[in-house]
């Protein structure tokens, strides 16, 4: 069977696009458009790839922590919990959502470069497992709050290894000049480690790094692991501290268009883990529990967004525009990063494309574009337009600009669909208005 970009996207004999084995035109009929579809089987399969590879290569306590900023709603935290792995949260809002879903908070890690005192208190009240501490001021604030709560709070320290992976600048975070973490190069990493070890109400468990996102090569991860294990050895020698946890962050790339390479999560994770094991042996470092924090590579190719075509403008000698009933409000990634996407007509997926189109959203904003130069078979009002690989950083980045309501999220599993997030209503738009 013909597949498009990923093997959960196929074209049926009726010419319709199928996703996770289901006819997208029927799903659009049932749920309306725009709608975000999530292939739950794919999400679970990706989590298991990380989980099983980490367990086999490093040990039973190692696991992936789903970076929930990529996609956050209650049912997803339940899915992640049911697979026996952890999660990252970066705001009290994500934490609240995880708590509402009954997520086991001892497996939750609180990230972010500017946690407020209120955030810290709220997370401690809710029994957060770990804070991933970004800076000395935050360390002080957590120590104070943990003291007040009468607990010893587990933490990891976010270290900046000084790596600049080959990816888009706005989603690269590993360099010394990053706004995240404490750099090894400047000596801050060692200073903050000393500080953490001296705090009465803090239990330092180990270190974290995250070098960026949408990284296709393995080398930056291997290099980051080398630097981090070197740092572990250094802290053991200088401070007598043995880290029990090494968190290597997220960032494995995902194929968005046919020209992107196909990435095997299992092979990548195995290669990184084997390297970690060998490097620890080389330095005589006790093999720590290893965590990874995949976001995109868990959910991106589990997602697809369906829209209805409204108008088609063919500006002779210039450009052709197709306008859809969503746009930057549900997917701001082209506007932010000029991200590439694969776009198809879902109700006529078997027809040959005859011209190039710019797919524009419905907002009063020229930059509201989903993709430029996509080949489509002469779209018309009422056609169903599919954008592939929208599971990550779409719904979670959605906004109400122009008071556009956010689309629903529908989970697909074993040939059945169910609503995970309902479509926003106009009443939701004025819920906070006085
Ligand atoms: C964004 C982020 C991740 C997830 O990155 P992906 O590229 O989506 O895998 C993991 N860890 C941290 C700290 C992050 O900021």
* pLDDT tens per residue across span 264-295: 999 999 999 999 999 999 999 999 999 999 99
364 catalytic? Reply is yes
Determine if ligand 1 sits within 6 Å of the CB of residue 213: yes
- Expressed in angstroms and rounded, the spacing between residue 85 Cα and the centre of ligand 1 is 16
Q: Which residues of the chain have pLDDT under 50?
A: none
**β-bridge mates for residue 265, sequence order:** none
pTM: 0.96
Mutate to test the pocket of ligand 1, among 132, 170, 213, 300 (most ligand atoms within 8 A of CB): 213
Sequence-separated contacts (24+) of 376-382 with Cβ below 8 Å: 376/322, 376/343, 376/344, 376/345, 377/345, 377/348, 377/351, 377/352, 377/353, 378/312, 378/354, 379/309, 379/312, 379/322, 379/345, 380/309, 380/312, 381/309, 381/310, 381/311, 381/312, 382/308, 382/309
Which of 399, 406, 382 has its CA nearest to residue 28? 382
Residue whose pair of structure tokens reads 């992107």 in the numeric block: 260
Kindly list the structural domains of the chain, giving each domain's residue range(s) and its CATH number in brackets, ordered by start: 2-39+304-429 (2.40.37.10), 111-294 (3.20.20.10)
Q: What is the pLDDT of residue 184?
A: 94
Contacts of 242 (CB under 8 A, 6+ apart): 236, 286
158 close to 132: Cβ distance less than 8 angstroms: yes
Q: What is the pLDDT of residue 2?
A: 87
State which ligand 1 atom lies nearest to the alpha carbon of 297.
9
Determine if ligand 1 sits within 6 Å of the CB of residue 67: yes
Determine if ligand 1 sits within 6 Å of the CB of residue 391: no
Q: What is the pLDDT of residue 172?
A: 57
355 close to 379: Cβ distance less than 8 angstroms: no
Determine if ligand 1 sits within 6 Å of the CB of residue 249: yes
Determine if ligand 1 sits within 6 Å of the CB of residue 69: yes
Residue whose pair of structure tokens reads 């720590």 in the numeric block: 288
- Expressed in angstroms and rounded, the spacing between residue 295 Cα and the centre of ligand 1 is 6
Residue whose pair of structure tokens reads 């705090």 in the numeric block: 199
376 close to 355: Cβ distance less than 8 angstroms: yes
Tens digits of residue pLDDT in 142-169? 999 999 999 999 999 999 998 876 655 5
State which ligand 1 atom lies nearest to the alpha carbon of 70.
8
Which of 56, 106, 103, 113 has its CA nearest to residue 81? 103
Determine if ligand 1 sits within 6 Å of the CB of residue 70: yes
Which of 304, 151, 131, 96 has its CA nearest to residue 208? 131
Determine if ligand 1 sits within 6 Å of the CB of residue 64: no
- Give the pair of three-digit tokens for residue 246: 């090494």
Ligand 1, atom 3: closest residue by C-alpha: 250
Q: What is the pLDDT of residue 162?
A: 87
Distance of alpha carbon 258 from the chain centroid: 21
Radius of gyration of the chain (CA): 23
**CA-CA distance, 126 to 120, in Å (whole number)?**
10
State which ligand 1 atom lies nearest to the alpha carbon of 215.
7
State which ligand 1 atom lies nearest to the alpha carbon of 251.
7
Q: What is the pLDDT of residue 317?
A: 86
**CA-CA distance, 304 to 161, in Å (whole number)?**
35
Give the relative orientation of helices 188-198 and 219-239 as an angle to the nearest 10 degrees. Answer: 50
Instruction: Please pick, among 100, 280, 363, 364, the residue that the annotation labels catalytic.
Output: 364
Q: What is the pLDDT of residue 175?
A: 65
Contacts of 211 (CB under 8 A, 6+ apart): 161, 163, 165, 172, 173, 174, 220, 221, 224, 249, 251
């Amino acid at each position: 069977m013909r597949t498009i970009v990923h093997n959960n996207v196929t074209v049926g004999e009726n010419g319709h696009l199928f996703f996770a084995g289901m006819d997208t035109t029927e799903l659009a009929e049932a749920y309306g458009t725009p709608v975000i579809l999530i292939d739950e089987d794919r999400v679970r399969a990706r989590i298991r790839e990380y989980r099983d590879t980490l367990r086999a290569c490093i040990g039973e306590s190692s696991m992936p922590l789903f970076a929930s900023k990529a996609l956050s709603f209650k049912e997803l935290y339940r899915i992640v919990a049911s697979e026996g792995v952890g999660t990252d949260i970066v705001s009290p809002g994500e934490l609240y959502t995880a708590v509402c879903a009954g997520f086991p908070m001892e497996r939750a890690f609180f990230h972010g470069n500017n946690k407020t005192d209120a955030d810290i208190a709220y997370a401690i009240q809710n029994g957060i497992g770990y804070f991933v501490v970004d800076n000395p001021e935050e360390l002080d604030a957590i120590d104070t709050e943990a003291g007040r709560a009468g607990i010893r709070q587990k933490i990891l320290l976010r270290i900046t290894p000084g790596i600049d992976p080959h990816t888009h600048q706005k989603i690269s975070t590993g360099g010394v000049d990053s706004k995240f973490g404490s750099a090894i190069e400047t000596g801050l990493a060692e200073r903050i480690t000393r500080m953490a070890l001296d705090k009465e109400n803090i239990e330092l468990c180990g270190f974290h790094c995250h070098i960026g996102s949408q990284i296709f090569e393995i080398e930056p991860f291997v290099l980051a692991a080398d630097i981090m294990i070197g740092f572990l050895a250094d802290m053991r020698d200088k401070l007598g501290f043995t880290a029990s946890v090494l968190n290597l962050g997220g960032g494995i790339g995902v194929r968005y268009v046919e020209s992107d390479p196909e990435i095997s999560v299992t092979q990548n994770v195995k290669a990184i883990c084997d390297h970690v094991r060998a490097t620890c042996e080389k330095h005589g470092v006790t093999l720590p529990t290893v965590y990874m924090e995949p976001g995109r590579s868990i959910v991106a190719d589990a997602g697809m967004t369906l829209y209805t075509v409204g108008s088609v403008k063919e500006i002779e000698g210039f450009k052709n525009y197709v306008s859809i009933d969503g746009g930057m409000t549900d997917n701001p990634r082209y506007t932010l990063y000029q991200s590439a996407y694969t776009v198809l007509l879902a109700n006529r997926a078997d027809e040959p494309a005859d011209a190039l189109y710019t797919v524009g959203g419905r907002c009063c904003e020229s930059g509201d574009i989903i993709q430029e130069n996509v080949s489509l078979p002469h779209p018309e009002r009422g056609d169903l337009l599919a954008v592939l690989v929208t599971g990550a950083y779409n719904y979670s980045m959605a906004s109400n600009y122009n008071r556009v309501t956010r689309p629903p999220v529908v989970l697909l599993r074993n040939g059945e669909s169910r609503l995970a997030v309902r479509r926003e209503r106009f009443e939701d738009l004025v819920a906070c208005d006085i």
